[in-house]
Each structure stands twice: as structure tokens, then as C-alpha cells.
């Protein structure tokens, strides 16, 4: 089982390395240490992987039929979305010349798209609101734990 | 296109705060779960993962807020310095969360195993407990059953009217029931001291040897008729059945006989069931007796009738001759002798005739006591000459009965004469009557203190012509005639006797006839 996991994990790794197009990343100058960004992105990917595996296990064990575990599954799904979103945001951030920010020090700060990059800028703008994924995720976790607790109490009473 | 950054900041700020709050709430819940069941690996796992998430939420949230604040306050340079640390720490925290998550499956499996083992342990524990308790009950129930069964068989053993006994191969009695000790006449202690051998109770030793031989060969003997010696040396007729039981001396398990005959460790025990058939034998004898009497009776009737007339003639002529002879001469004495013996012959013939019932019975209402008294009146004077006294113990409840008075008197006369003969001189004859209302019969016991009757003669005294008296004194017909008379009345006559001490003749007569 574990061997299978590692295989899966490695294949994902290669896929993401391919997708990330290192040469593109190299060209950017937003990060003076590109390996930092790489590690960060890989960590996000690792997170996605572990959550996916988690969901996979929950489904395989048939635990998702249980309310608590189902909630936990939703939580993992939210975290996957959030990580994907964060990876996208980091990626767009690392691209040079898509947009610039003005009046960064005030509340009136704005994001100005460079010519011809309106769509990317818009995507980046919404991707930046990554909390819309991770907050529901943790709420699901909270609900799942509550569910477990209630059930454990019920068992004890029995 | 210009997009305001404010909403992003707002969501960042609010989102980070919520993340922190909820992650701590999650830690709290996981803690509570953990406290509920500290051995549950999954709860421990949740505690880890929520803690890691909390660290992550703080690092990220604080990072975001600090970043936003620094940028807004125009200190972007500081953020530039902090950013790599914050980013690196963030990275580490979610790698941590992700790593922990990957362990979920293992933890789950371990927990399942633990739970399974625990369950299995509990199950087996429960089973053992149940079994333990059940076993106790079972053993108790079995014991109860065994005790019940043992009691049952003990009761059969103890209350059996037939003798049941267990002996070893040498005849040593190992166990015997009360009926057995009564029959053989010895105490239970003697058995317990292993001081009794069944072998010695056999009238003929070779019978025992034959029984053992047959038991060992066939495994059983059934319905063997033999004689044992009773407590007073009397012969007991018995019907004996026996079987073999093989016991292994070490564990006491019983085995089937046939299978174990070649097993040299086994010890054979014999079980016997012995039925006293003395009474039955006596009854059979009586029947035989009746038969014998009947045939002799027919014979005697004919003979007696034929002889009676010549005897009368002889007697008549003899008396005629005596009249013409003067007393004191030798011829006179000779004729007297002839007359005496002819009279004796006539007596015998008369006895025979009455025995063969050739005389008709005339039954009428009679007081039995009166009847007996009359007999006593006739003989008492003569008896007293020899110091033989007659005492009576009459039961006043005895009613009048329909009897042939003459014949009944003859019976008692016979019994008294026999008693007198047995006593010789100086003794006591006791006559007792007893009315048994339930059985509807009167019992008359004639007891004497005479010489008694030898056991071997007991069965023969009712035979016609059986006598132990010298010729001329006894005809041997008295008792057989009495027997016939009593039978005719539907009654019974029995005898009990102890040699040297005396005899008892018991006459029982039915009342309503
Ligand atoms: N009361 C008694 N005591 C001892 N022996 C008796 C008694 N009555 C009868 N007998 C025995 O029974 C035998 C048969 O008796 P019975 O038939 O009256 O014939 P008999 O008196 O002529 O001998 C007697 O010879 C005697 O041996
Ligand atoms: Mg007689």
C-alpha cells in the first residue's frame, strides 16, 4: 500500500515539474531565490497529494458513508482547491509584466493589468482570495470533529 | 483594467483570523476527543494534525497580516527581509500537515488492529467468563443429576425385597443390600470388615464354583435355582442371576466384559440378584401334596371300603369267641390281642375313609371356641396325668362359623395328640385364636413345648403314612387327614418348628362361607 503511494506520488511530482516549466520560472525576477518558490510550490503540491490520498483512503475504506468522515472528506477537497488556487496565484505572481500595483501603501491600492493580460490579471485577482477555499475547509474539519465527539459520547453512554 | 486590492486584503485579514480561530477550536475538539479515549490512535492522530494545522494557520495568518500591514505602512523593505522566513516557515508547516495526513492510513489501520484485538480480547474474555459461569452451572447441574440418579439407584438397592450383592472373584462380599443381610442373617459391619464370603452360604460349594466358571465364560448366569444356608442353618431356596463387571483399578472406569477379557489389569466383580423362592417352593410342594393326597385318597377309599367289611366280620367273630371263653386263660388273652389289633386296623380304615372324604360333611353354624373346648375337655384329664397342661387364649371377636363340627374336632384332636406325643411328659400346649377381620379369617395356633420337627422332615409331615413314631403308635395319617379337612373348609394349615424347642401348627379358616 505504502509502495503504491510513493509511486503515485513520484508520478505526480514529475507531472508538476513538467507543468511548471522551469525555464519560464527562471526568467522571472520577482523572486531573487527561485528555489524558494519551487520548494513552496512543491509543498503545495505535496499538500494536494496528501489530501487526495486521504480522500482516496476514506472512499476506499467506505468511511465516507459516515457523516463525520464525509465532512472530513469535504475538508480535504476544500484544501485541495485552496492549494491549487494558491499554486496558481504564486505562479501568476512569479510572471513578469502581467500587472502592476499602484498606491500600495494606502487602502486605495489597485491592480493594473498590463496590455493584453486582462484575463490573467483577473484570474490572479480572484485567485488571491484563496481564503474562500481554506476557511470552509477548516470549518468542515471543525464540524467533522464535532461529529466524532458527539458520536464518541454516544458510544460511551451506551 | 484597474482592480482594487482592498477586498483582497479584507478577505486575507478576515480569512486569516477565521483560520486561526477555527484551527484552535479544532485543536480543542481533538483534545476533548483524545480525553474521551486516550488509547484511540485516530484521536491522537487528529490531535497531531489539528495542532500542525494551528501552527500553520498562525504562521500563515500572521505572515499575511504582517505583510499587509507593512506594505500599507510603506515599510516594504522590512517585508522584503521577512518574506523568505515567513515563506519558508509556511512551507514547512504545510509540508508537516501534508506528511501527517499521509500517515492517516497507517494510523487508521493500526487503530483498527488495536480495536480488533481489543474486541477479540474482550470477546474471548467474555466467552471465558460465560463459559466459566456456565461450566459451574453445568457441573452443578450434572452433579445434581448424578446425585438424583445415584439416589434413585440407591433407593432401588436399599429397598429391594430381593438380595442384591456385589462380590469379587473369591466370593468376598463387597456390597449387599438390607434384604441380603436379612436373608443371610449377618450384620452390615461384617461386610464392611470384609469378613463375609458369599461362597460359604452355598449349601453345595460346587455350585459356587460352577457359577464363577459360567460367569467368566459367558459374562452372566440367569435364573439359576439353588440353595443357600440361612441364618439358622435352614435351607433357603433361591433364584440367582449374576453378571460380571470389569473395573480398571486405576481410574475406576467400567468396560464391557467381552472386550476386556484379555486385559490383564482388569479386576472382575460379580453382581448378583438373588430371589428367595422358599415360600414359592413351599407352595409348590403343597400343591404337589394336594395332588398326592387326592390320588391316595381315591385309592384309600376303595381299599378301606373293601377291608372294612372283613374287619367287621373278624371283629364280630373274635368278640363272639371271647364271650365263650372264661377270663384268665391263654386263649382269652390271645383273642384279646386279636381284638385289639383288629380295632387298630378299623381305626386306620376309619382314618383312611375320613381322609378320602368318603364321609359326607355336615356343615352348620358352630362356635369354634366351644368346639375346641370340647376337645380339651375330653383329653385334659389324660394329659394332666403326664403334666401336660393346656392353656387357651381366645380372641373374643371370633364369630360363629359354618363348619363341620365333628371334623374340626378331629383336626384339633389330632394336633393335641401330636403335641402331647412330642412333649412326652411335662409341658405346655397353648391354643390361641385370632380374628383377622380384614382378611376375613380366623387363625388358630396350637403351640407346644415339645421336641420339635427336624428341618428335613418339615416338608413331609403332611404326607400320608409319614411318621417318626414306632409302629403301632403312629399311623402317619393324622396330619394328612387334618390337612384334607382344613382344605375342604377352604382353609390352610401350616407348621413352624424349631427342633428341641417346640412346634406351632397354624390353622386358618375363612369366616364367611
Ligand atoms: N407337635 C409335633 N411336634 C413334633 N413332631 C410332630 C408334631 N406333630 C406331628 N409331628 C411329626 O409329624 C409326624 C406325622 O404326624 P401324624 O401325621 O399325626 O402321624 P402320627 O402322629 O401317627 O405319627 C409325626 O410322626 C411326628 O414326627
Ligand atoms: Mg398323629
Q: Could you tell me the CATH number of the domain that includes residue B212? A: 3.30.450.20
In angstroms, the Cα distances linking B351 to B105, B344, B347, B465, B471 are 124, 10, 6, 11, 16
**Which three-class secondary structure string do you get for B159-189?**
HCCCEEEEEECCCEEEEECHHHHHHHCCCHH
Is the beta carbon of B476 within 6 A of some atom in ligand 1? yes
Backbone φ and ψ of B256, nearest 5°: -70, 150
What CATH number does residue B343 fall under?
1.10.287
Q: Does B7 touch chain A (CB under 8 A)?
A: yes
Give nearest CA residue, ligand 1 atom 7. Answer: B418
What are the residues whose beta carbon lies below 5 Å from ligand 2 (ion)?
A: B 418, 478
What is the predicted pLDDT for the residue at A131?
87
A85-96 residue pLDDT tens: 988 888 888 777
Euclidean distance between CA atoms A71 and A58, whole angstroms = 11
Q: Which of B289, B421, B445, B454 best tests ligand 1's pocket when mutated (most atoms within 8 Å of CB)?
A: B421
Q: Is residue A71 part of a domain?
A: yes
Instruction: Give me ligand 2 centre to Cα B370, in Å.
Output: 22
Q: Please check whether residues B395 and B496 belong to one and the same domain.
A: yes
Q: Which of B347, B388, B464, B467 best tests ligand 1's pocket when mutated (most atoms within 8 Å of CB)?
A: B467
Q: Is residue B328 part of a domain?
A: yes
Q: Is residue B150 part of a domain?
A: no
Euclidean distance between CA atoms B213 and B204, whole angstroms = 15
The size of chain A, in residues, is 158
Euclidean distance between CA atoms B23 and B7, whole angstroms = 23
Cβ atoms of residues B368 and B401 within 8 Å? yes
In angstroms, the Cα distances linking A150 to B29, B30, B33, B53, B94 are 10, 12, 9, 22, 28
Contact A135 B98 (CB under 8 A): no
Q: How many domains does chain B have?
A: 4
Cβ atoms of residues B413 and B347 within 8 Å? no
Q: Please check whether residues B374 and B496 belong to one and the same domain.
A: yes
Element (H, E) at A156: helix A131-157
pLDDT in 10s for each residue of chain B, 513 residues: 778 888 888 888 889 899 999 999 999 999 998 998 888 888 888 898 899 889 888 888 888 888 878 877 778 788 888 877 887 888 888 788 888 888 888 888 888 888 888 889 988 988 888 888 888 888 888 899 999 998 998 888 888 889 998 888 888 888 888 888 888 887 777 777 777 788 888 988 899 999 999 988 888 898 888 988 888 888 888 999 999 987 765 554 554 444 444 555 667 889 999 998 888 887 777 667 666 666 776 777 777 778 888 899 999 999 999 998 888 899 999 999 999 889 888 887 877 776 565 456 678 888 999 999 988 988 888 888 889 999 999 999 999 999 888 889 889 988 998 999 999 889 999 999 999 999 899 999 999 999 999 988 988 898 888 889 887 677 788 898 888 889 888 899 999 999 999 999 999 999 975
Instruction: Give me ligand 2 centre to Cα B479, in Å.
Output: 6
Q: B496 CB contacts (<8 Å, ≥6 apart)? A: B503, B504, B506
Q: Is residue A141 part of a domain?
A: yes
Q: How many domains does chain A have?
A: 1
Q: Is residue A121 part of a domain?
A: no
Q: Please check whether residues B266 and B178 belong to one and the same domain.
A: yes
Q: Is residue A110 part of a domain?
A: no
Euclidean distance between CA atoms B136 and B141, whole angstroms = 8
Closest CB to A149: pick one of B19, B33, B91.
B33
Q: Residues B449, B454, B458, B460: is their CA dihedral positive or negative?
A: negative
Cβ atoms of residues B495 and B453 within 8 Å? yes
Domain that holds residue B501: 364-510
Backbone φ and ψ of A91, nearest 5°: -65, -50
* C-alpha angle B334-B338-B343 in degrees, rounded to nearest 5: 145
Task: Find the closest chain A residue to B29 by CA distance.
Answer: A145
Q: Please check whether residues B473 and B375 belong to one and the same domain.
A: yes
Q: Please check whether residues B217 and B100 belong to one and the same domain.
A: no
Cβ atoms of residues B271 and B245 within 8 Å? yes
What CATH number does residue B474 fall under?
3.30.565.10
Euclidean distance between CA atoms B161 and B144, whole angstroms = 27
Instruction: Give me ligand 1 centre to Cα B311, in Å.
Output: 26
In angstroms, the Cα distances linking B193 to B157, B171, B172, B187, B389 are 20, 14, 11, 10, 49
User: What are the grid coordinates assigned to B457, written together?
Assistant: 422332615
Q: Is residue B143 part of a domain?
A: no
Q: Is residue A14 part of a domain?
A: no
User: What are the grid coordinates assigned to B131, written together?
Assistant: 463459559
Closest CB to B33: pick one of A125, A138, A145.
A145
Euclidean distance between CA atoms A73 and B191, whole angstroms = 89
Contact A2 B106 (CB under 8 A): yes
* Chain CA centroid to CA B290, Å: 37
Distance from first CA to last CA of chain A, Å, rounded?
Answer: 35
Closest CB to A110: pick one of B2, B18, B98.
B2
Give nearest CA residue, ligand 1 atom 27. Answer: B468
Q: Which residues from A are below 8 Å from B87, CB to CB?
A: 36, 40
Q: Please check whether residues B460 and B422 belong to one and the same domain.
A: yes
Which ligand minimizes its atom distance to the CA of B481? 1
Backbone φ and ψ of A142, nearest 5°: -60, -45
Give nearest CA residue, ligand 1 atom 25. Answer: B467
Distance from first CA to last CA of chain B, Å, rounded?
Answer: 149
**Residue found by looking up cell 384332636 in the block:** B413
Q: Which residues from B are below 8 Å from A54, CB to CB?
A: 101-102, 104
* C-alpha angle B117-B123-B127 in degrees, rounded to nearest 5: 145
Q: Please check whether residues B263 and B309 belong to one and the same domain.
A: no
Q: Please check whether residues B377 and B483 belong to one and the same domain.
A: yes
Q: Is residue A101 part of a domain?
A: no
3-state helix, strand, coil in chain B (%, to 5): 60, 20, 20
Q: Residues A112, A114, A119, A121: is their CA dihedral positive or negative?
A: negative
**Which three-class secondary structure string do you get for B411-425?**
HHHHHHHHHHHHHCC
**Residue found by looking up cell 381366645 in the block:** B394
Contact B36 A128 (CB under 8 A): no
Q: B42 CB contacts (<8 Å, ≥6 apart)? A: B107, B108, B111
Backbone φ and ψ of B246, nearest 5°: -105, 130
Q: Is residue A50 part of a domain?
A: yes
Q: Is residue B154 part of a domain?
A: no
Closest CB to B36: pick one of A2, A111, A152.
A152
Task: Find the closest chain B residue to A143 by CA distance.
Answer: B26
Cβ atoms of residues B408 and B375 within 8 Å? no
Euclidean distance between CA atoms A88 and A133, whole angstroms = 13
Q: Is residue B145 part of a domain?
A: no
Euclidean distance between CA atoms B464 and B426, whole angstroms = 29
Among B456, B393, B394, B401, residue whose Cα is nearest residue B428: B393
Q: Please check whether residues B341 and B445 belong to one and the same domain.
A: no
Domain that holds residue A67: 34-95+130-153
* C-alpha angle A132-A136-A140 in degrees, rounded to nearest 5: 170
Instruction: Give me ligand 2 centre to Cα B467, in Å.
Output: 8
pTM above 0.80, yes or no: no
- Average pLDDT, consecutive stretches of 10 residues, N- to C-terminus, chain A (158 residues): 53 54 37 69 89 89 85 92 89 78 69 78 85 91 91 77
Q: Please check whether residues B213 and B247 belong to one and the same domain.
A: yes
What is the predicted pLDDT for the residue at B26?
94
Task: Find the closest chain B residue to A133 by CA distance.
Answer: B15
Q: Is residue A143 part of a domain?
A: yes
Longest dimension (CA), chain B: 199
Cβ atoms of residues B53 and B26 within 8 Å? yes
Cβ atoms of residues B380 and B417 within 8 Å? no
What is the predicted pLDDT for the residue at B356?
61
- Specify which residues B126 forms β-bridges with: none
Q: Does B38 touch chain A (CB under 8 A)?
A: no
Transcribe B347-358 into DSSP letters.
HHHHHHHHHTT-
Q: Does B69 touch chain A (CB under 8 A)?
A: no
Which DSSP category does B467 fall into? -
Domain boundary among B355, B384, B418: B355
Amino acid at each position: 500500500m505504502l509502495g503504491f503511494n510513493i509511486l503515485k506520488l513520484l508520478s505526480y511530482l514529475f507531472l508538476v515539474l513538467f507543468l511548471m516549466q522551469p525555464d519560464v520560472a527562471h526568467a522571472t525576477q520577482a523572486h531573487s531565490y527561485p528555489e524558494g518558490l519551487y520548494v513552496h510550490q512543491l509543498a503545495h503540491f505535496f499538500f494536494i497529494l496528501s489530501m487526495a490520498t486521504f480522500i482516496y483512503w476514506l472512499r476506499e475504506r467506505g468511511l465516507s458513508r459516515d457523516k463525520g468522515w464525509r465532512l472530513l472528506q469535504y475538508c480535504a477537497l476544500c484544501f485541495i482547491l485552496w492549494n491549487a488556487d494558491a499554486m496558481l496565484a504564486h505562479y501568476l505572481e512569479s510572471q513578469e509584466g502581467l500587472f502592476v500595483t499602484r498606491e500600495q501603501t494606502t487602502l486605495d491600492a489597485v491592480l493594473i493589468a498590463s496590455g493584453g493580460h486582462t484575463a490573467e490579471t483577473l484570474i490572479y485577482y480572484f485567485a488571491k482570495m484563496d481564503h474562500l477555499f481554506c476557511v470552509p475547509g477548516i470549518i468542515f474539519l471543525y464540524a467533522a470533529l464535532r461529529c466524532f465527539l458527539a458520536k464518541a459520547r454516544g458510544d460511551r453512554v451506551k | 483594467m484597474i482592480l482594487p486590492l482592498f477586498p483582497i486584503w479584507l478577505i486575507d485579514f478576515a480569512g486569516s483570523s477565521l483560520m486561526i480561530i477555527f484551527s484552535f477550536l479544532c485543536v480543542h475538539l481533538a483534545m476533548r476527543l483524545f480525553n474521551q479515549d486516550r488509547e484511540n490512535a485516530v484521536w491522537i492522530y487528529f490531535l497531531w494534525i489539528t495542532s500542525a494545522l494551528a501552527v500553520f494557520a498562525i504562521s500563515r495568518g500572521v505572515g499575511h497580516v504582517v505583510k499587509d500591514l507593512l506594505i500599507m505602512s510603506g515599510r516594504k523593505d522590512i517585508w522584503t527581509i521577512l518574506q523568505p522566513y515567513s515563506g519558508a516557515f509556511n512551507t514547512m508547516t504545510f509540508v508537516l500537515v501534508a506528511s501527517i495526513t499521509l500517515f492517516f492510513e497507517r494510523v487508521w489501520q493500526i487503530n483498527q488492529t488495536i480495536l480488533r484485538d481489543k474486541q477479540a480480547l474482550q470477546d474471548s474474555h467474555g466467552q471465558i467468563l460465560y463459559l466459566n459461569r456456565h461450566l459451574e452451572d453445568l457441573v452443578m447441574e450434572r452433579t445434581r443429576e448424578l446425585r438424583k440418579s445415584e439416589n434413585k439407584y440407591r433407593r432401588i438397592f436399599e429397598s429391594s425385597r430381593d438380595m442384591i450383592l456385589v462380590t469379587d472373584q473369591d466370593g468376598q462380599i463387597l456390597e449387599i443390600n438390607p434384604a441380603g443381610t436379612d436373608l443371610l442373617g449377618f450384620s452390615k459391619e461384617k461386610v464392611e470388615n470384609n469378613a463375609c464370603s458369599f461362597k460359604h452360604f452355598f449349601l453345595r460349594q460346587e455350585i459356587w464354583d460352577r457359577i464363577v466358571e459360567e460367569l467368566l465364560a459367558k459374562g452372566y448366569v440367569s435364573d439359576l435355582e439353588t440353595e443357600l444356608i440361612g441364618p439358622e442353618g435352614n435351607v433357603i431356596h433361591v433364584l440367582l442371576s449374576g453378571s460380571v463387571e470389569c473395573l480398571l483399578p486405576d481410574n475406576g472406569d467400567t468396560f464391557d466384559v467381552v472386550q476386556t477379557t484379555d486385559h490383564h489389569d482388569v479386576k472382575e466383580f460379580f453382581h448378583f440378584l438373588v430371589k428367595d423362592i422358599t415360600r414359592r417352593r413351599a407352595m409348590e410342594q403343597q400343591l404337589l401334596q394336594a395332588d398326592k393326597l387326592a390320588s391316595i385318597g381315591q385309592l384309600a377309599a376303595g381299599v378301606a371300603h373293601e377291608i372294612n367289611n372283613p374287619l367287621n366280620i373278624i371283629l364280630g367273630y373274635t368278640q363272639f369267641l371271647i364271650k365263650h371263653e372264661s377270663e384268665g386263660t391263654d386263649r382269652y388273652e390271645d383273642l384279646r390281642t386279636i381284638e385289639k389289633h383288629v380295632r387298630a386296623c378299623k381305626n386306620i380304615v376309619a382314618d383312611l375313609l375320613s381322609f378320602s372324604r368318603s364321609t359326607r360333611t355336615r356343615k352348620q353354624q358352630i362356635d369354634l371356641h366351644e368346639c375346641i373346648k370340647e376337645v380339651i375337655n375330653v383329653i385334659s384329664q389324660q394329659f394332666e396325668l403326664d403334666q401336660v397342661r393346656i392353656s387357651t387364649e381366645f380372641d373374643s371377636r371370633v364369630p360363629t362359623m359354618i363348619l363341620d363340627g365333628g371334623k374340626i374336632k378331629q383336626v384339633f384332636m389330632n394336633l393335641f395328640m401330636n403335641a402331647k406325643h412330642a412333649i412326652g411328659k411335662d409341658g405346655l400346649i397353648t391354643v390361641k385364636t385370632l380374628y383377622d377381620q380384614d382378611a376375613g379369617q380366623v387363625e388358630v395356633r396350637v403351640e407346644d413345648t415339645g421336641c420339635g420337627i427336624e428341618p428335613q422332615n418339615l416338608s413331609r409331615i403332611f404326607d400320608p403314612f409319614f411318621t417318626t413314631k414306632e409302629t403301632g403308635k403312629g399311623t402317619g395319617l393324622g396330619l394328612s387327614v387334618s390337612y384334607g379337612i382344613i382344605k375342604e373348609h377352604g382353609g390352610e394349615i401350616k407348621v413352624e418348628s424349631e427342633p428341641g424347642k417346640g412346634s406351632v401348627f397354624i390353622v386358618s379358616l375363612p369366616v364367611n362361607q
